[in-house]
Amino acid sequence: MNASRRAFLSGAGATLGTGIAGCLELGGGSDTLRIIDWGYVYNDGVIEEFENRHGVTVERQSAQGSAETLSQLRAGRADYDIAPLGNYAVKPAMDEELIQPIDLDQVPSYEDIFDFLKKDYFESDGQVYGVPRSFGQTPLAVNTDIVDREITALADLWDDDLSGVAGGRDDARLQVLYRNAATGTELNPSSEADIDIEALRADLIDRLNNTAGLWGNGGESEQLLRTETVGVQPVWNYVIQAMKDDGLPVERVFPEEGTKAWFIQHTIRAGAENPELAHTFIEEWQSEMGYRSLMEPNNIAVPNERVFEEQNIDRTVLGLDTPDQFIYEEPKPPELIETYSRTWSEAKTESGG
């Protein structure tokens, strides 16, 4: 199995590497850095090298996504120093004082992060709470052996002739975003008063009636395509690349309404035991670990100008030359998220999905 796809050891305290205890003064903390993160992120021995450089131990726990991480932070069960959060999850974590400001003096590589990812909603009172760790996008994957027509837009997923071959992610917020893009509706409304709920539900039902399969993670999305359960669906770019590398007849389409983009932030938990070591890890991710660990094996960008320059990578290769093409899921109030979830659940029930 490729190292980039190996699952983490699950459960709190799943320790990777053996670190050398007691060699680093951490301002009152221990010599253990605790991280929760996705399973595919840390490859090529970068964690072990970090442990050896600093004489510490790094403990990692696997997470399925930002929603799970945010839930653990809210429940007070998390003892992590570093917690990755999607762009939509940073603001609620910040507003609820679950994460602490980043000391940018300790992360000088922040200056080289692409400006279009330095969102205002990552800041409060002049302080920054999230450092973009990785940037990816979700184009349409089209199996040309199954789909014998041109696909150019998200709106195509609603066409009757794609019934039984379209797929998608089982995610309420994402499905609403795609629906809004396809219909020309405001992408990120701020309250339920701005939404025609009945029209939204009807559109989601229509989408589900065309859907042959839903996925919850990258492996499931790839399996749906490899088994030809679906012939077209939005999936993460690295999944498309993996299938293309294997010679499968899968094409990448950037939809005309805009390509859904995502970016994950390194954040530091409020009350973290080792904030100084967490800052060191974040800086070294940007300056030396990120490319080898994630960008090179998975084609997921570390969104830092210096990384692109040092590795002589053309931004067009990863679609980063035209950032205006991207659409994002922006932070939303909890009551609106609940409305999306309820409406998506109702649509699945009515459609039999």
List, for residues 122-136, the tens digit of each pLDDT value: 999 999 999 999 998
Top pLDDT among 65 and 273 is at 273
pLDDT at 36: 93
Comparison of pLDDT for 4 and 297, the residue scoring more: 297
* Per-residue model confidence as pLDDT tens digits over 238-282: 899 889 999 999 999 999 999 999 999 999 999 999 999 999 999
Domain covering 3-136+264-320: architecture? 3-Layer(aba) Sandwich (3.40)
* Alpha carbon separation from 294 to 67, 133, 136, 285, 351 (Å, rounded): 21, 10, 11, 10, 38
What is the model's pLDDT at position 67?
A: 85
pLDDT digits (tens, 9 = 90+) for 337-352: 999 999 999 999 999 8
Residue 114 pLDDT level (bands cut at 50, 70, 90):
very high
Where in the sequence of the chain do the CATH 3.40.190.10 domains occur?
Answer: 3-136+264-320, 140-253+328-351
d(CA 47, CA 33): 11
Query: What is the reported pLDDT for 20?
Result: 32
pLDDT digits (tens, 9 = 90+) for 230-248: 999 999 988 998 899 999 9
Q: How confident is the model at residue 29 (pLDDT cuts 50, 70, 90)?
A: low
Class of domain 140-253+328-351: alpha beta
Q: Rounded to an integer, what distance in angstroms lies between the CA atom of residue 5 and that of residue 218? A: 10
Report the DSSP pairing between strands 259-269 and 82-86.
antiparallel
Tokens 């065309």 locate to 210
Question: How far, in Å, CA of 180 to CA of 176, rounded?
Answer: 6
Give the count of beta carbons closer than 10 Å to the beta carbon of residue 334.
8
Give the strands of the sheet with 250-253, arranged side by side: 211-215, 166-169, 232-234, 140-143, 250-253
Highest mean pLDDT among 6-15, 82-91, 99-108: 99-108
Facing residues of 264 across strands?
86, 134
